[in-house]
Amino acid sequence: MPEVKHFGVFQFKSDVSAEQIENCFSKLTGMVGQIPGLLEVIHGPYDSPEGLNDGFTHGFIMTFDSPAARDAYLPHPVHEAVKDQVLPYLERVIVFDFNV
């Protein structure tokens, strides 16, 4: 069964501090071990001279052990709580999934 990569990019609102951004990503990484099948969350700020980020400042990649685990994560109460805590800080978000 393929793993699933759940990739996203965030554009934080202009008044969001570095500390608030780090707290948002702490919430995301904290889901590992709380949601079955969520193996890893990595993240970081945009860092390329290419300049094709379209205003998005940070990205993350989550790895799930299967499509079923990703599907169970989407409505999971821990994920819903993290969304409620992170979304107020965002101007825009894009999420894209693919199997590997």
Every domain of the chain and the residues it spans: 13-94
Q: What is the pLDDT of residues 36-73, one digit of tens each?
A: 999 999 999 999 999 999 999 999 999 999 999 999 99
Rounded (10°) angle between helices 18-29 and 77-86: 170
Q: What is the CATH number of domain 13-94?
A: 3.30.70.100
What value does the mean pLDDT of the chain take? 97
- Predicted TM-score (pTM) of the model is 0.94
Closest by CA position to 37, among listed 74, 11, 9, 10: 74
- pLDDT for 33 equals 97
Decide if pLDDT at 1 tops 90.
no
Pairing of β 90-99 and β 4-12:
antiparallel
Interior/surface letters 12-46, b for 16+ CB within 10 angstroms, e for the rest? beeebeeeebeebbebbeebeeebebbeebebeeb
Please report, for residues 10, 53, 78, the alpha-carbon distance to residue 83 in angstroms, rounded to integers and kept in the order given. Answer: 12, 22, 9
Q: Which two tokens stand for residue 30?
A: 């904290």
The token pair that represents 87 in the structure block: 């979304």
